[in-house]
Amino acid sequence: MYRFLFSSKWLGYLLLAAIFATACVFLGRWQMDRRAETLAEINRVTSNYSATPLPFAEAEEQFSRLEADKEWTQVELKGSYDVDGQRVVRNRPLNGQPGYEVVVPFKINSGQTVVVDRGWLPIGNNTPGRPDSVPEPPSGEVTVIVRLKPGEPELQRGAPDGQLASIDLPAYAAQLGYPVLTGAYGQLASETPAAAAMPYPFPKPSVEEGTHLSYSLQWFAFGVLMFIGFGYAARQQARNAEIDAQDATADSAPEYAMAANRRRPAPRKRKQPTAEEEEDAILDAQGY
């Protein structure tokens, strides 16, 4: 009944189903990998974001080479801002609005220099391609709390004077012309004393898992449904073939048998006599 499955046509269908199911498995696993990355980020945020700040001496190595599980760790720095080295980073949207981020070198009292991202500014209305104003950091000695973030890759595009295309720490250090720790930078959490005007602070990262798990399960289900659909189509094909075989058997019956069936009259059903017909029969039998 199912010998047709070995035909080239149905083998091709089976191959297409296998290819589609394989693609669904890869897409499902890709969503699972993204979920694992999201869960790792959530774990870093919940563990490090609000933890007690470390002194710079304990976190110095992280500014040279940031470990993945140390991202968002709070660090306390004491020193002063280098206002002349301040830059704005282009194309930094926040909550769907275009804008910039303000980065400033921070010279620590121990002699090292790190980069501090002080916050976000909206796109300006007065001068195209620049914020309307950039708040200056506080002067003199400042105590800041920052959260560790990895540097960003170099982008193959330039930026106007006083701006950066990305937070590419080695390229930024080359512009400054003095040694800067380039393994990580600090996203500002607080500073003392506070400046008169501040960029917008960064919102806390989301700790929502998202829809990666549901999407992965959907892709796996699509792969299984493809084989279910193939099986259903094969079953329908087998049933249709069985009906066609029965019709062919009926069409191949001998002609004389079909003709005899046509000539043989149908048996007539005997009619039940009425009461009057029975009475007349009785009178005829008596000679009346």
- 268: DSSP letter: P
pLDDT at position 187 over 80: yes
- What gap in Å lies between CA 199 and CA 207, rounded to an integer? 24
Pairing outcome for strands 54-55 and 74-81: parallel
Pairing outcome for strands 142-150 and 74-81: antiparallel
Q: What is the mean pLDDT of residues 116-144?
A: 91
Average pLDDT of every residue of the chain: 86
Instruction: Kindly calculate the radius of gyration of the chain based on its CA atoms and give it in whole angstroms.
Output: 42
**Does 119 fall in a domain?**
yes
- What gap in Å lies between CA 278 and CA 288, rounded to an integer? 14
Residue 118 shares a structural domain with residue 84: yes
**Does 219 fall in a domain?**
yes
- What gap in Å lies between CA 74 and CA 224, rounded to an integer? 47
Residue 84 shares a structural domain with residue 217: no
Residue 137 shares a structural domain with residue 221: no
Q: What is the mean pLDDT of residues 122-136?
A: 86
pTM of the shown model: 0.67
Residue 140 shares a structural domain with residue 163: yes
pLDDT at position 286 over 70: no
Burial class (CB in 10 A: 0-12, 13-18, 19+), 153: exposed
CB 53 within 8 A of CB 70: no
- 200: DSSP letter: B
Which residues form the domain of 105? 50-192
- Residue 34 makes CB contacts below 8 A (sequence gap 6+) with 212
Q: What is the mean pLDDT of residues 13-31?
A: 91
Question: How many residues in the chain?
Answer: 288
Total count of domains within the chain? 2
Residue 31 shares a structural domain with residue 67: no
Residue 187 shares a structural domain with residue 217: no
